[in-house]
Copies of this chain bind each other. A is one copy, B any other.
Amino acid sequence: MNGAESMLQTLINNGVEVCFANPGTSEMHMVAAMGESESIRSVLCLFEGVCSGAADGYGRMAGKPACTLLHLGPGLSNASANLHNAKKGHTPIINLIGDHATYHKKLNAPLTSDILSLANPVSDWLRVAEAAVDLPSAAADAVYAANVKPGQVATLIVPANAAWDESIQPLPAQPAPIVPKVSDAAISESVRLLTSGEPSILLLGNMALTERALELADQIVQATGTKLLSDTFIPRQARGEGRCKIERLGYFAEQAVEQVNGAKQWVMVGTKAPVAFFAYPDKPGELYPEGSSLHTLAQPNEDAEHALEKLVIALGAESYTPRKIVKNKPQSGAGNLDPVTLANSFAHYLPANAIVVDEGATAGGLCGPLSEAAEKHDWLGLTGGSIGYGLPAAIGAAVACPDRKVICVHGDGGAMYTIQSLWTMIREQLDICVIILANRKYQILQIELSRVGAESVNEKTLEMMDLSNPDIDFVKIAEGMGMQAVRAETAEQFNEAYSKAMATKGPCLIEAIMP
């Protein structure tokens, strides 16, 4: 049994079922090992950023890692932006990166590079398996590292000779990492802050956004009157009918400051104190008032549900019944397509148990708020700020949950980063409806330009944020990758295409022309 085979069997023994692959020559033995196995699904992607984004979407929905298969330093580089998102979102992922044979590296062949330096910023765990006999334990350790909650990016560099040389037997299933519980002191300090009579904020993120965690948070709100907020960018949140409501902290600091309304007592669960996405001249980066009391009830890696349960008990809040959202869909939009009519239609036809992958950016900004009382669904957000995650993440979510409809709401600018994703959706016949919001500009930049105080706004400047000239025809691009696609220029056209997509299984794309 060679190193690749023993590594792969160890991964399989430890629960890995899927590999999002874009291999090259140095990965051929890993490809051959996967070809021999019936226990791993290999999903070919046409670009490594699709692999890593898909692994992100998969990890968020499956709660366990898929692996990527990447070709040396450049393959990792192409995957890196979406690994950045995954790391910021605490998604479990295992990267398998092929490298030159150990003895070949010193020759400085064209594909030689410093993979460790490239991998370190986007990995929580990183190892080179120098020899075939190291691969089974390295694989087991990688799975363990990836499964440290909420999840970690584990990167294993596999030199070609480690893959092809004779190895030892694969390792069996290892115990899963234990999720740390919060201390009693963390609970009692939370009680003190939330019952002090001063205005307070309970801020949730990551593992504190499950259906159960939100119910517990709602009991706390009822008992204490604290304001409840979630992080702006969330890996996954249970939403819609039957779930408990939570307001999301705004992206723009001005919005956030208004939501916070001067509250100086903050209790964080599963997240850290909020900061502005970008710095702006003469504005603070912290979104909490100076002199605030910041208390972390649960770190992102700690058991958030358990912490909230203990807090509910400590506050005597068990008697409050969680106030679950009663379904109250908006009417579908009519007339012109714009962010309001589109979001209304999106929410109106959203089917129960859907998974929404959100990279809707400015044009899709109302899809979240207006679907709060729609059918129940899960929502995946852009956690690391690197655009081009949505289409790949939709692939991963659909692979993880083949019985659920995935809806990917995507800005046109971001969609062009990883547009190759459409091909894999067709190849794997995934149940994904892609909605491209085609406003034909990087609208967020046009907004940010003045906010950062860049005073000169002339035609040449605006051209650098403009996606018209030429207009992109997403219908043709999708058809070029074998995907059914339709353009909607009015709300009625959108409603027809979207409602039909929701009633039909399989991949499709709707290009919504937006102002």
A25 touches B278 (CB 8 A): yes
Among A435-454, those with CB < 8 Å from B are 444-445, 448-449, 452-454
Interface residues on A, range: 35 or more
Assess the A469–B80 pair: CB atoms within 8 A.
Answer: no
Cross-chain pairs A/B with CB under 8 angstroms, 16 sampled: A46-B413, A74-B81, A77-B81, A101-B279, A107-B276, A109-B277, A110-B277, A110-B384, A111-B278, A117-B117, A117-B121, A161-B281, A419-B420, A472-B481, A472-B482, A478-B480
Given contacts A164-B281, A416-B423, A477-B481, contact A454 B31 (CB under 8 A): yes
A328 within 8 A of partner (CB):
no
User: Which of A114, A121, A455 counts the most B-chain CB atoms under 10 A from its CB?
Assistant: A121
For residue A197, give the distance in angstroms from its CB to the closest CB of chain B: 30
Evaluate contact between A80 and B118: CB separation under 8 angstroms: yes
> When A and B form their complex, which 8 residue pairs have the shortest distance between CB atoms, in order from nearest?
A35-B461, A470-B482, A476-B480, A74-B386, A477-B480, A77-B80, A101-B279, A104-B279
Does A192 reach chain B (CB closer than 8 Å)? no
Is A475 interfacial (CB-CB < 8 Å)? Answer: yes
Which chain B residues border A469 with CB–CB below 8 Å?
427
Is A458 an interface position by the 8 A CB rule?
Answer: yes
Across the interface, A84 reaches (CB within 8 A) one of B77, B279, B416, namely B77
| A160/B279 in contact, CB under 8 A | yes
Cβ contacts under 8 Å, A461 to chain B: 31-32, 34-36
Q: Is the CB of A32 within 8 A of B417?
A: no
**Is there contact, CB below 8 Å, between A42 and B110?**
no
Q: Is the CB of B84 within 8 A of A444?
A: no
Chain B residues, Cβ within 8 Å of A457: 32, 35
Residues in B neighbouring A77, C-beta threshold 8 A: 77-78, 80-81, 84, 122, 386
